[in-house]
Chains A and B, each alone.
Chain A
Amino acid sequence: AQTVTQSQPEMSVQEAETVTLSCTYDTSESDYYLFWYKQPPSRQMILVIRQEAYKQQNATENRFSVNFQKAAKSFSLKISDSQLGDAAMYFCAYRRVIQGAQKLVFGQGTRLTINP
Chain B
Amino acid sequence: NAGVTQTPKFRVLKTGQSMTLLCAQDMNHEYMYWYRQDPGMGLRLIHYSVGEGTTAKGEVPDGYNVSRLKKQNFLLGLESAAPSQTSVYFCASSYFWTVTDTQYFGPGTRLTVL
Residues of A within 8 A of B (CB): 4, 9, 35, 37, 42-47, 50, 52, 91, 93, 97, 99-109
Contacts and interface: CB of A to CB of B under 8 A. Distances in A.
A97 B97 contact: yes
- Main secondary structure on chain A at its contact with chain B? strand
B44 A47 contact: no
B97 A45 contact: no
Contacts of B104: 47
Nearest to B32: A101
19 contacts: A9-B40, A35-B102, A43-B90, A44-B107, A44-B108, A47-B102, A47-B104, A91-B42, A97-B97, A99-B56, A101-B48, A101-B50, A101-B97, A102-B94, A102-B97, A104-B43, A109-B40, A109-B41, A109-B42
B108 A101 contact: no
Given A45-B90, A99-B50, A102-B103, 10 more contacts: A43-B90, A44-B105, A47-B103, A101-B31, A102-B31, A102-B97, A103-B58, A104-B103, A106-B42, A106-B44
Choose among A50, A91, A101 the residue with the greatest number of B CB atoms under 10 Å from its CB: A101
Contacts of B44: 106
